[in-house]
Amino acid sequence: MVKFMFIVSLIAGLLLALVPNLLWIVGKIIGIFAKYRLPYAPFGYTALGLALLLWGIVAYGYNIGRWRLDVNHLEYSHPEIPEAFKGFKIVHISDLHLSTFDGHPEKLQRIINTINAQHADLICFTGDMVTIGTQEAEPYTDMLQTLQSEYGVASVMGNHDFLIYGNRFGGDSTAHAAAVEAFAAYQRDALGWHLLRNSFIPIIKDSAKMTILGVDNKSCTNQGFRSTNTGDLTAAMAGTYGFRILLSHDPTHWAAEVVPQTDIPLTLSGHTHAAQIKIFGYTPASWAFEHTHGLYEQDGQSLYINIGLGCTAPFRLGASPEITVITLR
């Protein structure tokens, strides 16, 4: 992936530099008939500047942008929040894509240290632990086991966690299904996380109750790539009670099902990465997603999209890796 990205950026820089040169050639041809000699220097310097600018942006995104870390704080209030849960602190993380940290384990350790420094009551992970295969997680098991909060880690599985990319199983659906189940067991057993697969866990504090429910990935729009749709909101909601928070990896699920079919107050999602590019609030993710990052509200229901900690391509510009600290009020 790194080699591919740099080859693409090299070619893109050269193509970008070609534009002023083509303009100069056109101007030179016109100048022959107009008896005007067009100097090359301004066009040459422009071509060089454009190429260097693009390569500089790529170098920044690779060496600096993808390792920046934002800790964003959100105070969330809702009439259904019990008094006992006022001040309850949730750390929301998403899209680890653990292969991001190959060769850079200290970057993941820094993230974990920062999460633990928030002294969360609950950590919520909204999917995509890996990118291609479960082997990406194995080197980081010991680190992930050190995540700390009073009520542990609640998690769901994102589209990448269903191992649908890379053609690893050669069409063997049985082997594929077994690998997905083994990865789910890894989260539950090796990491000790509360993996919610169309299910829920109750949180009880001073006899007050809150429910954290989670669904498997459910992509409700065509995003231009393969995805999964095994999320079952009805099954996850069965038997829930009290103030409810839904973990659902793909935010398209919120507008398609959560808002029209339920009264769940707060949904936490990831998936978009804000396209790993965010400049003055704009992200190319808006080409594919109605909701791209941050907080959205509709009909008394709220959605928060965390733009993730890892990368599918080793580059971030403006869309820094994110830890979200949500305090219930």
Residues 291 and 322 in one domain: yes
Residues 299 and 323 in one domain: yes
Mean pLDDT, 10 residues at a time, the chain of 329 residues = 81 94 95 91 96 96 98 98 98 98 98 98 98 96 98 98 90 95 98 98 96 97 86 97 97 98 98 97 96 97 98 97 98
Residues 319 and 185 in one domain: yes
Residues 162 and 267 in one domain: yes
Residues 6+ away with beta carbon under 8 Å from 248 = 126, 156, 214, 215, 218, 231, 233, 254, 258, 267, 268, 269
Residues 88 and 52 in one domain: no
Residues 304 and 231 in one domain: yes
Residues 33 and 149 in one domain: no
Rounded CA-CA distance 123/153 in Å is 5
Query: Could you identify the residue written with the tokens 């339920």?
Result: 262
Give the domain extent around 82: 69-328
CATH code for position 273: 3.60.21.10
Residues 59 and 92 in one domain: no
CB 197 within 8 A of CB 213: no
Q: What is the 3-state secondary structure (H, E, C) of the chain?
A: CHHHHHHHHHHHHHHHHHHHHHHHHHHHHHHHHHCCCCCCHHHHHHHHHHHHHHHHHHHHHHHCHHHCCEEEEEEECCCCCCHHHCCCEEEEECCCCHHHHCCCHHHHHHHHHHHHCCCCCEEEECCCCCCCCHHHCHHHHHHHCCCCCCCCEEECCCCHHHCCCCCCCCCCHHHHHHHHHHHHHHHHHHCCCEECCCEEEEEEECCEEEEEEECCCECCCCCCCCCCECCCHHHHHCCCCCEEEEECCCCHHHHHHHHHHCCCCEEEECCCHHHHECECCECHHHHCCCCCCEEEEECCEEEEECCCCCCCCCCCECCCCEEEEEEEC
pLDDT at res. 4: 78
- Return the ∠ at Cα 113 (arms to 109 and 114), rounded to 5°: 120
Rounded CA-CA distance 77/24 in Å is 60
Rounded CA-CA distance 124/156 in Å is 9
pLDDT at res. 308: 98
Residues 74 and 59 in one domain: no
Question: Where a domain ends, among 19, 43, 63?
Answer: 63
pLDDT at res. 264: 98
Residues 29 and 161 in one domain: no
Residues 55 and 91 in one domain: no
Residues 43 and 123 in one domain: no
Q: How many structural domains are present in the chain? A: 2
